[in-house]
Amino acid sequence: MTAVPEPATTPPDAHAAAGHPDRGHATAGRLDGGPLDVVGMGNALVDVLAAVPDRVLDDLSLVRGSMELVDLARAERIYAAIGSAVEVSGGSAANTVSGVAALGGTAGFIGKVADDDMGKVFVHDMRACGVELEAAVADADEGEAEVRGTGRSFVLVTGDAERTMATHLGVSAILGPGDVRDELVARAGILYLEGYLWDRPSAKEAMRRAVKTAHDHDSSVALSLSDSFCVDRHRSEFLDLVVNEIDVLFGNEEELRSLFSARSLDDALSSAGETGVLVAATCGPKGSIVVGGRGPVEVPAAPATQIVDKTGAGDMYASGFLYGLTHGHDPVDSARLGSLCAAEVIGHLGARPQRDVAVMARAEGLA
């Protein structure tokens, strides 16, 4: 495994022009071929955000607080039922690299969209926030009928700020090795992988290709475990990844307990410490725990003025943590920055920051 990199010094192009995807790959953001702090790889989704009364969940047979995969037909029924909504580019790793860019870092993203309205929303938004985008654009007849169209995630938020999610992966589910641009990965200080991708064989091979390219160019590799059920399905392979390929690991209590087959978080963190990997364990309102060379260190959560929508809290925590690592902060201060970003994003609807997190970070001496 490689060491966490020194900070990149080339400033981001935060004002890239918006546009639409072309056939093949849509490229945006930084075009000068310079170093990038973080390159993310994950599901390219459009978040469809809506505040809904409780009865809508019942009418749609959705379980409060759950995340359910749905086919295209059901996705269209949900869309028709929710009324007014906000559409913005999303997906876990895409949210994280957008957060890195919002902090003033340089970032890229690898994913797959369709040549449709949702795909245009995704590319437009990623370009607007200054992320260099390698979005493979699927042909109209590529993949089975159930994975046609750009992926979308319905995020339904009830009055208690609980989020219920229904996701149609669309063509993001058929991301493959041929969709990975080695040149983009090679420029990354840290390659950031979304664990959800491991569910599909072609995406798994794409991730393996990206990891090899990152190591060949002395880049570090970070993995988000994404979901405890995902970890349950791939525990053996994820453990092999962590021990042999990964430098930085993100997970919450349930995910880490599942990964290490541990009865408690303390046991999971003890096992994590034996791997030699830098671990950031998120613990909700209790903050996070960083496991590195000094052993477990607890980092309190940053105060939140209000809690409106918990969507994206973990993604933005990873943004702050990765930005910190690539800009000279130690892991504990990186976790403090992650907590600050997470506190901002839960204060409003949506998974992307609305306040200037770079200004917030500077006020705390973290940027």
Q: Which segments in the chain show pLDDT lower than 70?
A: 1-32, 140-147
Q: Is the Cα torsion angle 357, 358, 359, 362 positive or negative in sign?
A: positive
The neighbour count for residue 244, using CB atoms within 10 Å, is: 10
- Per-residue pLDDT, 346: 86
- Per-residue pLDDT, 29: 40
Residues 192-207 have pLDDT tens digits of 999 999 988 999 999 9
Give residue limits of the domains in the chain.
Answer: 24-44+91-149+170-224+301-363
Distance CA 130, CA 217 (A): 24
- Per-residue pLDDT, 45: 94
- Per-residue pLDDT, 213: 98
- Per-residue pLDDT, 342: 94
- Per-residue pLDDT, 19: 33
207 Cβ contact partners less than 8 Å away, ≥ 6 residues apart: 41, 193, 197, 198
For residue 174 the two structure tokens come to 């058929």
CATH architecture of 24-44+91-149+170-224+301-363: 3-Layer(aba) Sandwich (3.40)
